[in-house]
């Protein structure tokens, strides 16, 4: 069955907002064995909409249209649909009453222009929108079934699951399409490039026969998603074939797999901390509190995140833990101390294009170890994590980098436990924001690896 997508709106066409609806529709339909043939973006022009509806009305089996169903003057989709089908708009009193009740429950006054949202093409069917004032509707144009939905992603998401996809499945069966069961499995990996993963998984795809398993990749720096899609006539057959490929993916990617399906890396770390009864104290300098922010999502951080200390420079981090750089052991210090410690404000004044808090020279790994241990000891947590970062001036011959310019940074991590302290160093290249993203992910991955008893020191493709 040939399915097309049309997303409408000047704000989408001209790039003022990202067109996430097209991706949402295609992804959800694929999960149900329904393939999208193509997607189109159109502006708020009635004649262009009418022409597009009539053209696809003669070629596609089904079309999903989003946007343009609001109450304002630039919401033109319902009028264009009626003209394309050569029918009039009629007031649907059921939806009008529904809107009036909805406005009443929300304590808002319904203005006169909202009535247009209850004007639907004659002969169309309402597609329910349980959380918004704009209903969707379905109708035939030129022998093709069109499904119209509002462009609000949250409303569209719900309407796809509850209303539109079930109708598309019914239409697919009526057209005699063979039944298909699609099962999807997703792996997120950290530390391997797309080309590396593609090489490692070479030969695993099954593209012929009654059951197929396809492999696809989506880079979302600093992670890589590997997606397995199994398609078969029955669920047991699709599951059997998918599990065989899934096992092999685990074997080949090994420790680099950080999460699966809908889980994030921080979800995995939170779960491991909770199940093992561990607590965590953070000391962040280079990563600016992003690790604490990631772990704190969902409001569950109180159970394991004992303390999070964020400082703009190593100097301020030492002050936060009452550490004296003059008392460091030779193995921990990097002379001369005067070059090593300064406030973030001083750094910004001295080197205007350098991120505040960057060090002149890299501290020895022992410094991260000392700070991680101090964070654990002072907070009473079972684990302490310290993350430091340094711009390598020697590797950047032109002086301090301009904003957005690539440079080399030295990242130092340490995890202090009750028995020992583990360290990890890496040299990452990129602009500051990109390197910081990589450092955050690396720190979370080191926590995951420690909690799972895996080695911390497996080189990633991000490192020089």
- Report the chain's C-alpha Rg in angstroms: 28
Lowest-confidence range among 88-97, 346-355, 417-426, 434-443? 346-355
pLDDT, one tens digit per residue, over 146-191 is: 999 999 999 999 999 999 999 999 999 898 887 778 899 999 999 9
Which CATH architecture group holds 181-260?
Answer: 2-Layer Sandwich (3.30)
Assess whether pLDDT exceeds 50 at residue 121: yes
Residue 188 in contact with residue 225, Cβ under 8 Å?
A: yes
On average, the pLDDT of the chain sits at 88
Q: In sequence order, which residues have a C-beta less than 8 Å from that of residue 427 and are 6 or more positions away?
A: 392, 408, 409, 410, 411, 463, 464
Lowest-confidence range among 66-75, 390-399, 409-418, 454-463? 390-399
The span from the first CA to the last CA of the chain, in angstroms, equals 48
Which runs of E-coded beta strand occur in 46-97?
62-66, 89-91
Q: What is the C-alpha to C-alpha distance for residues 340 and 17, in angstroms, rounded to an integer?
A: 44
> Within the chain, which residue ranges are assigned CATH 3.40.980.10?
3-174
CA-closest candidate to residue 460, choices 349, 99, 437, 452: 437
Task: Say which CATH topology domain 3-174 has.
Answer: Molybdenum Cofactor Biosythetic Enzyme; Chain A (3.40.980)
Residue 461 in contact with residue 192, Cβ under 8 Å?
A: yes
Query: Structure pTM?
Result: 0.78
Burial class (CB in 10 A: 0-12, 13-18, 19+), 434: middle
Produce one character per residue of 5-40: b if its CB has 16 or more CB atoms within 10 Å, e if not.
bbbbbeebeeeeeebebbebbbebbbebbbebeebe
> Within the chain, which residue ranges are assigned CATH 3.90.950.20?
265-451
**Max avg pLDDT among 103-107, 136-140, 231-235, 323-327:** 136-140
Assess whether pLDDT exceeds 50 at residue 435: yes
Residue 445 in contact with residue 430, Cβ under 8 Å?
A: no
Average pLDDT score over residue span 302-312: 89
Q: What is the C-alpha to C-alpha distance for residues 72 and 68, in angstroms, rounded to an integer?
A: 9
Percent of all residues in the chain with a pLDDT value above 90, rounded to a whole number: 73
Strands 280-284 and 305-310: parallel
**Structure confidence at residue 397 as a pLDDT band (50, 70, 90):** low
Residue 390 in contact with residue 317, Cβ under 8 Å?
A: no
CA 311 to chain centre: 27
Residue 137: beta bridge partners?
A: 126, 148
User: Can you give the pLDDT at residue 362?
Assistant: 56
User: What's the order of all strands across the beta sheet hosting 407-416?
Assistant: 305-310, 280-284, 383-391, 407-416, 421-430
Q: What is the C-alpha to C-alpha distance for residues 337 and 371, in angstroms, rounded to an integer?
A: 16
Average pLDDT score over residue span 304-318: 90
Tell me the C-alpha to C-alpha distance, in Å, between residue 151 and each of 29, 38, 166, 310: 17, 18, 19, 40
Tell me the C-alpha to C-alpha distance, in Å, between residue 15 and each of 8, 9, 12, 41: 12, 10, 5, 11
Q: What H or E segment, with its residue span, contains residue 88?
A: none
User: Can you give the pLDDT at residue 62?
Assistant: 98
**Structure confidence at residue 400 as a pLDDT band (50, 70, 90):** low
pLDDT, one tens digit per residue, over 97-111 is: 999 999 998 899 899
- Does 3.90.950.20 match the CATH number of domain 265-451? yes
Q: What is the C-alpha to C-alpha distance for residues 270 and 296, in angstroms, rounded to an integer?
A: 9
Q: What is the C-alpha to C-alpha distance for residues 415 and 256, in angstroms, rounded to an integer?
A: 19
> Within the chain, which residue ranges are assigned CATH 3.30.70.2860?
181-260
Q: What is the C-alpha to C-alpha distance for residues 313 and 341, in angstroms, rounded to an integer?
A: 8
Assess whether pLDDT exceeds 60 at residue 352: no
């Amino acid at each position: 069955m040939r399915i097309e997508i049309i997303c409408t709106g000047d704000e989408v066409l001209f790039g003022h907002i990202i067109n996430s609806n097209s991706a949402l529709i295609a992804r959800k339909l694929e999960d149900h064995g329904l393939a999208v043939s193509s997607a189109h973006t159109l502006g708020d022009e009635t004649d262009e909409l009418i022409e597009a509806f009539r053209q696809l009305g003669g070629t596609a089996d089904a079309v999903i249209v989003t946007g343009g169903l609001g109450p304002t003057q630039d919401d033109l989709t319902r009028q264009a649909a009626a003209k394309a089908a050569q029918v009039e708009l009629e007031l649907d009193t059921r939806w009008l009453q529904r809107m009036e009740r909805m406005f009443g429950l929300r304590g808002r006054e319904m203005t006169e222009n909202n009535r247009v949202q209850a004007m639907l093409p004659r002969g169309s069917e309402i597609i329910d929108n349980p959380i918004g004032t704009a209903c969707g509707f379905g109708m035939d144009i030129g022998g093709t079934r069109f499904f119209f939905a509002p462009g609000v992603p949250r409303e569209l998401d719900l309407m796809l699951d509850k209303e539109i996809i079930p109708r598309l499945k019914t239409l697919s069966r009526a057209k005699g399409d063979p039944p298909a069961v699609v099962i999807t499995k997703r792996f997120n990996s950290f530390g391997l490039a797309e080309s590396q993963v593609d090489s490692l998984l070479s030969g695993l795809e099954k593209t012929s026969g009654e059951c197929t398993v396809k492999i696809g990749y989506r880079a979302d720096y600093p992670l890589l998603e590997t997606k397995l899609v199994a398609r078969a006539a029955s669920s047991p057959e699709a599951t059997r074939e998918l599990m065989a490929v899934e096992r092999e993916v685990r074997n080949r990617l090994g420790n680099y797999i950080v999460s699966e399906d809908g889980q994030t890396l921080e979800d995995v770390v939170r779960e491991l901390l909770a199940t093992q009864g561990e607590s965590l104290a953070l000391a962040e300098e280079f990563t600016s509190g992003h690790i604490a922010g990631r772990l704190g999502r969902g409001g569950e951080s109180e159970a394991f995140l004992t303390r999070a200390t964020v400082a703009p420079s190593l100097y301020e981090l030492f002050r936060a833990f009452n550490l004296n750089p003059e008392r460091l052991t030779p193995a921990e210090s990097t002379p001369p101390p005067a070059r090593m410690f300064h406030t973030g404000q001083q750094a910004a004044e001295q080197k205007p294009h350098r991120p505040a808090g960057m060090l002149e020279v890299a501290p020895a790994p022992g410094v991260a170890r000392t700070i991680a241990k101090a964070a654990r000891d002072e907070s009473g947590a079972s684990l302490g994590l310290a993350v430091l970062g340094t711009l390598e001036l020697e590797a950047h011959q032109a002086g301090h980098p301009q904003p957005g310019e690539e440079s080399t940074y030295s990242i130092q991590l340490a995890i202090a436990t009750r028995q020992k302290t583990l360290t990890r160093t890496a040299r990452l290249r990129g602009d500051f924001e990109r390197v910081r993203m990589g450092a955050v992910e690396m720190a979370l991955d080191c926590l995951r690896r420690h909690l799972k008893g895996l080695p911390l020191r497996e080189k990633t493709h991000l490192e020089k």
